């Protein structure tokens, strides 16, 4: 399994990377939408963790595009902003996790 984490918070990336390295053969991290899109194109991940507030855009604005280009990729949206949950799920995210993400949430869907 290949995993991509798109989040600008270093601590979240480190935590998710540590958790996912035990479950995946490859874990990549991107800190912006631009980096994330480049990683999606080059690595074709099986699972994407996508944050909303990124330095160069809102993650929620890229859900449809990501799911269109990678329909079999599991997209897990992570955000501290809970009032966008319905919008995110309606746009195609498979799951919405409120930050901080728990190990139990991840285990339940991976």
Residue whose C-alpha is closest to residue 74's, from 104, 44, 38, 46: 46
pLDDT tens-place string over residues 10-52: 999 999 999 999 988 999 999 999 999 999 989 999 999 999 9
What does the pLDDT read at residue 75? 98
What does the pLDDT read at residue 94? 98
What does the pLDDT read at residue 110? 85
- On whether the CB atoms of residues 59 and 37 are closer than 8 A, the answer is no
pLDDT tens-place string over residues 67-87: 999 999 999 999 999 999 999
Q: How confident is the model at residue 102 (pLDDT cuts 50, 70, 90)?
A: confident
Q: How confident is the model at residue 92 (pLDDT cuts 50, 70, 90)?
A: very high
CA distance 94 to 34: 21
Distances (CA, A) of 4 to 32, 36, 66: 12, 8, 12
Is this prediction's pTM over 0.85? yes
What does the pLDDT read at residue 50? 98
What does the pLDDT read at residue 29? 97
Distances (CA, A) of 51 to 7, 16: 5, 12
Residue whose C-alpha is closest to residue 7's, from 82, 73, 80: 80
**Domains in the chain, CATH or no CATH each:** 2-109 (3.40.50.2300)
Q: What is the 3-state secondary structure (H, E, C) of 60-104?
A: HHHHHHHHHHCCCCEEEEEECCHHHHHHHHHCCCCEEEECCCCHH
């Amino acid at each position: 399994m290949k995993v991509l984490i798109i989040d600008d918070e270093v601590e979240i990336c480190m935590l998710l990377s540590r958790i996912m390295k035990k479950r995946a053969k490859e874990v990549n991290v991107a800190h912006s939408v631009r980096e994330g899109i480049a990683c999606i194109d080059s690595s074709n991940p099986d699972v994407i963790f996508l944050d909303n507030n990124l330095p160069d855009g809102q993650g929620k604005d890229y859900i449809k595009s990501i799911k269109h280009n990678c329909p079999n990729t599991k997209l897990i949206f992570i955000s501290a902003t809970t009032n966008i949950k319905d919008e995110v799920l309606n746009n195609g995210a498979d799951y919405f996790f409120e930050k901080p993400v728990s190990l139990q949430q991840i285990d339940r869907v991976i």
